[in-house]
Structure 1
Amino acid sequence: MSLAKAETRRLVKRRFTRLFVLCGVLVLAAVAAGVLLTNHKTGPEQIAKATAEAQANYQQTVLANDRIKQECQRAQGTPDASNFPPNCEISDPAPSDFDPKWYLPPTFDFRESFGEMVTTFAAVLALVAYIVGASFVGAEWSSGGMMNLLLWRPRRLQVLGTKLGVLLSWTTVLTVVLGVLWTAGFYFIAKARGTTDSMTSGAWQSIGLMELRALVLVLVAGALGFGLASLGRHTATALGVAIGVTVVLQFGLAVLLGLANVKFPEVYLAPFWVFAWLNKQYVSQDFKTCDFSPTGGCQPETFTITWQMSGVALVALFALVVGGAMWTMRKRDIT
């Protein structure tokens, strides 16, 4: 049996891999079910009901406004007059202030809302890939299986590289299959509980590119978990780094940046770079530098994190961790 086939069998047959993939699938299924149950199809009946509700609220507000004006008139010349505007200048509501759209039940617009679902999909699968990747190689190191494997196949870099290649190949297949099901499922939800009317070839292309970036994110997450566990020669190393980065470096750093009044604090936090990668950009605004203009209002300074910048950061992180794992595999003692 070839090394690649043996590693593929080892990865797929592991109970931890199956369990964690199942947990990820169940989380995604719960999200899809929640969206299906909380959205509704909008038709003439719903529009008529929303229009009637908006009109009723408008009439109630007009009546309440009239009562306030009457109370204001009666209060003139008394100490209670200070509770009302001068000369009882109370503006009347306009029908446009009660848009019937605001009274419609939530509906799933595929073009407008599916991007958020792709972000959710990428986040769940990136977590699964990270932990599965860390466990895949970490268990080999901690159990002594890596040392035994190198007795059979003494080429260190080939062994570690094959393990990583198998992990990334398996992750690619899993992500693509689940991605197709995820897209088809939400398209069905939009058909049943929303709308797909605005979908054009350009919209489909944009969704496809976003899902491709999601795949890259999942692969990098799996490689990082694999690399960190190999560097520490234990699964707990990768998990510890993840917890440390999340709790200490991100939450703690966010608090420090806020206390120090640093401009564009989001630039220093990883989630916003991930958001920029998936959604093409993230614009950070510094409202302390507002330049007020008569026509535009507040014009704060901005800093844009582009998907290209995020891509460079992902490549650099991938090269640093995976390259470090390969280097230590070549240099360090195996025992």
Structure 2
Amino acid sequence: MMRLLRVELHRLFSRQVVLLLMVAAVVVPLLMLVAVAREARPVTPEELADAEAVYAQQLADWEETGEEQVAQCEADEEREREASGQEVDFGCEFITAPELEWFLRPVPTFAADVERLLSALSPLLLAVGLAIGATFTAAEFATGSMGMWLTFEPRRLRVYATKLAAPALAFGLVALAAAALFVAGDWFILDSADLTAGTTAATWTSVGWMVLRIGGLGLLAALLSAALGFLVRHTAGVLGIGIGYLVVELVVRGLVPASQPWLVSVNVASWVQHGTTYYLETCAADGQGGVLCEVADRTVSFGHSALYLLVLTAVVVGLGALAFRRRDVR
């Protein structure tokens, strides 16, 4: 089994398209680090002068009409409360005097932004992993290599297992390395700009687990798409399924908002972030002939998303194994 796995890893890295995709997985975090470096630049005198000019104008307007704005907001809030008979909050307490910081370019800090940026990186790595797994296995059927390979190793389940394990293990490590590279680069850039204040041991623990989860996501993505390659037997077909699913998900999300805990994108976000929230609007009759709607945030736990993604991958892998055992290979 290990000999077959070594052979498959060699075949994987001998494919030029796979190598290009692996390189892309490393280039993407480097490009993100370039953006971080641009944002971490100190505020220039020109930017400060422009911000101060806008701030002075806004402050003058506030001093002239601020109390009137707050009073009007509170009056509208009270009028709506009396009309609806419900508790209403227009957020009048947030109408306050402007501050200079509002008009300055936001400067990132490591503790506040690293996990947000890792969350943005993960879908890009997911896409690369899906492409690698699909092109590795589907190409074996398109070129006829699979039939020839079975003449050397006729035990199909062993062949199937190693052809899935090779891209999964390889890209899992690449995704892990890409996420770790981004974290190291982000720290170096922001530490050089004195923007790492507030970073604690808890921050590093959370970031470390997030990097590991991104590595695991890369492994699952390559594993699932490699199994789809056995089912569809064409790279374009696998990629078409992925694109088609995204379109369907957008439609379902809009038509049935309550379906969000069962959408792949939501569960991927929950996996990476160790739990996520989404917003759901619910409406009911108010007893006076009208309709009262409220928006509440709902939680998708990490346990839910982990079980969802693992079961989804297991089902696809199982179907791929069944198809490979029973279908002819030419």
Give TM-score scaled by structure 2 length: 0.79
* Residue of 261, 272, 276 corresponding to 1:267: 261
Query: Is the alpha carbon distance of 1:186 and 1:238 closer, same or farther for their aligned partners in structure 2, counting shifts above 3 Å?
Result: same
- Amino acid aligned to 2:12: L
Is 2:321 the partner of 1:321? no
CA distance in 2, matches of 1:320, 1:62: 60
Deviation at 1:51, TM superposition (A): 9.2
Q: Work out whether residues 231 and 324 of structure 1, in 8 Å CA contact, stay in contact via their aligned partners in 2.
A: yes
SS at match of 1:105: coil
Deviation at 1:273, TM superposition (A): 1.9
CA distance in 2, matches of 1:167, 1:310: 23
- Amino acid aligned to 1:232: V
SS at match of 2:304: helix
SS at match of 1:195: coil
- Amino acid aligned to 1:272: V
- Amino acid aligned to 2:20: L
CA distance in 2, matches of 1:290, 1:183: 46
- Amino acid aligned to 1:254: R
Q: What are the residue-to-residue correspondences of 1:182-197 with 2, within 5 Å?
A: 182-193=182-193, 195-197=195-197
CA distance in 2, matches of 1:235, 1:212: 28
- Amino acid aligned to 1:231: L
- State the match for 1:169 in structure 2: 169
SS at match of 2:207: helix
Deviation at 1:49, TM superposition (A): 6.6
Deviation at 1:319, TM superposition (A): 0.5
Q: Work out whether residues 180 and 211 of structure 2, in 8 Å CA contact, stay in contact via their aligned partners in 1.
A: no
Q: What are the residue-to-residue correspondences of 1:149-164 with 2, within 5 Å?
A: 149-164=149-164
Query: Is the alpha carbon distance of 1:59 and 1:101 closer, same or farther for their aligned partners in structure 2, counting shifts above 3 Å?
Result: closer
Which deviations, in whole Å up to 9, do the C-alpha atoms of 1:26-75 show, x marking residues without a partner? 333222212221333479x8999799557623553257649x9xxxxxxx
Q: Work out whether residues 134 and 226 of structure 1, in 8 Å CA contact, stay in contact via their aligned partners in 2.
A: yes
**Which 10-residue stretch deviates more, 269-278 or 47-56?**
47-56
CA distance in 1, matches of 2:122, 2:328: 37
CA distance in 1, matches of 2:329, 2:65: 81
- State the match for 1:251 in structure 2: 250
Query: Is the alpha carbon distance of 1:291 and 1:270 closer, same or farther for their aligned partners in structure 2, counting shifts above 3 Å?
Result: farther
Q: Which runs of 5+ in 2 are unaligned?
A: 69-93, 287-292
- State the match for 1:31 in structure 2: 32
Is 2:112 the partner of 1:106? no
Q: Work out whether residues 110 and 194 of structure 1, in 8 Å CA contact, stay in contact via their aligned partners in 2.
A: no
- Total equivalences in the alignment: 297
Query: Is the alpha carbon distance of 1:42 and 1:265 closer, same or farther for their aligned partners in structure 2, counting shifts above 3 Å?
Result: farther
CA distance in 2, matches of 1:20, 1:210: 22
Which deviations, in whole Å up to 9, do the C-alpha atoms of 1:188-245 show, x marking residues without a partner? 2222446111111111101111122211211111111101111122222211210110
CA distance in 1, matches of 2:36, 2:245: 31
Q: Work out whether residues 53 and 103 of structure 1, in 8 Å CA contact, stay in contact via their aligned partners in 2.
A: no
Q: Work out whether residues 33 and 186 of structure 2, in 8 Å CA contact, stay in contact via their aligned partners in 1.
A: yes
**Which 10-residue stretch deviates more, 134-143 or 266-275?**
266-275
**Which 10-residue stretch deviates more, 157-166 or 188-197?**
188-197
Percent identity between matched residues is: 26
- Amino acid aligned to 2:30: A
- State the match for 1:13 in structure 2: 14
Query: Is the alpha carbon distance of 1:59 and 1:125 closer, same or farther for their aligned partners in structure 2, counting shifts above 3 Å?
Result: closer
CA distance in 1, matches of 2:174, 2:59: 56
- Amino acid aligned to 2:320: A
Q: Work out whether residues 29 and 178 of structure 2, in 8 Å CA contact, stay in contact via their aligned partners in 1.
A: no
- State the match for 1:22 in structure 2: 23
Deviation at 1:16, TM superposition (A): 0.7
Q: Work out whether residues 54 and 99 of structure 1, in 8 Å CA contact, stay in contact via their aligned partners in 2.
A: no
Task: Let me know the Cα RMSD of the aligned residues.
Answer: 3.2
Give TM-score scaled by structure 1 length: 0.78
CA distance in 2, matches of 1:232, 1:58: 60
CA distance in 2, matches of 1:186, 1:246: 31
